[in-house]
Amino acid sequence: MTIPILCFGEALIDFLNTGKQKNGELALNQFTQFPGGAPANAAVAIAKLGGAARFSGQVGSDTFGEFLVQALEQYGVDTRHTYHHTTAPTALAFVFLDEQGERSFLFHRDNSADMVMEPSQVEDNWFTEQPILHFCSNTLTHPGITETTRTVLQRARARNCLISFDVNLRHNLWPSGSADRDLINQFVMQSQLVKFSVDELQYLSNGDNDVYLRRCIENGVRAIVVTDGGNPINLYAEGVHRVIQAPNTNVVDTTGGGDAFIGAVLFGLSRSDRSAIGKIDHLSALVAFASHCGSIAVSRPGAFPAFPSFDEVEAFYCGLH
């Protein structure tokens, strides 16, 4: 039996900087429109591997919103819980790449459709099949959308759903310019699977990683994954620490690489029984599989089109059924 995976949060347009064009004395940036948003990316990554992915969030009733929903559906994501706001626009992000393929972001997300989704829109029928719930911290940046996220987690916990949190910090989305450490940690402690980058871990632990990781486990986090670009991945569970090597890859665009990775982990968990989150050997193998999915994603531009199909990575999934 395949467990459905409900990805909650933002779907937005990534305008990816794909080069410059001379126009007289000016060098004009060129941008290509890609569908994006971390939870939407994760949903597509799951669906392209063959998982039962659902996306819940809100877009505008505009050209960009229609494009996003069509793109999600094109890749097999269930959008029955995706809403269209009548007046608020779809969020936009401009993504600039340096020579190493690393990103910087400029967001246009003030009162966008994803930000004004209300707790009353969270429906019990999202959770009738006890899906895995996946979310990120970009729905914690303002009080209104934080309450909606809190409601989603309350409903998921009431149905005993496995909760996955990819922290995915974007400090420039927070009004103060820095993410609210205490608020994010409230949500970390309500999750069973948490993914940090090494920088996010350092920030949220306030520099004391060992004590922080121990506190996470004591509060019920079952598995913690810490990524560090192309460096080894660290996996923590109760009394266990594993190090998984990441494959070498030719990085073209890191957009969506982490979403491809966590999507692959969730895909593997969705094809296992619900106790798999506590089986460290199985989790280690899933993380290794997911690292290959992320590696392929960053070797291609964009997000949705860059994620691998199951056929491309099936060899790395051997023994995980």
Q: How much is the pLDDT for 101?
A: 60
pTM above 0.85, yes or no: yes
Please, what sign has the CA dihedral across residues 177, 182, 185, 187? negative
- 225 Cβ partners below 8 Å, 6+ apart? 193, 194, 195, 196, 233, 234, 235, 236, 262, 265, 287
* 97 pLDDT above the threshold of 80: no
Determine the 3-state secondary structure of 253 from DSSP: coil
* 321 pLDDT above the threshold of 60: no
* Mean pLDDT, the chain, whole residue set: 94
Query: What whole-number percentage of the chain has pLDDT above 90?
Result: 81
* 113 pLDDT above the threshold of 80: yes
- What 3 state SS string does 101-163 have? CCEEEEEECCCCHHHHCCHHHCCHHHHCCCCEEEEEHHHCCCHHHHHHHHHHHHHHHHCCCCE
Q: How much is the pLDDT for 319?
A: 62
Q: How much is the pLDDT for 203?
A: 97
* 280 pLDDT above the threshold of 60: yes
The CA radius of gyration of the chain, in Å to the nearest whole number, is: 18
Number of H helices, E strands in the chain: 9, 13
Cα 140 to Cα 32, 151, 189: the distances in Å are 28, 12, 15
Q: How much is the pLDDT for 233?
A: 97
Contact 132, 162 (CB under 8 A): yes
Cα 268 to Cα 33, 97, 194, 244, 292: the distances in Å are 30, 31, 15, 16, 13
- Indicate the fold that domain 5-9+37-89+116-317 takes in CATH: UDP-N-acetylmuramoyl-L-alanine:D-glutamate ligase (3.40.1190)
Distance of CA 22 to the CA centre of its chain: 36
Spans of all domains in the chain: 5-9+37-89+116-317
pLDDT tens column, 210-258: 999 999 999 999 999 999 988 999 999 998 999 999 999 888 878 889 9
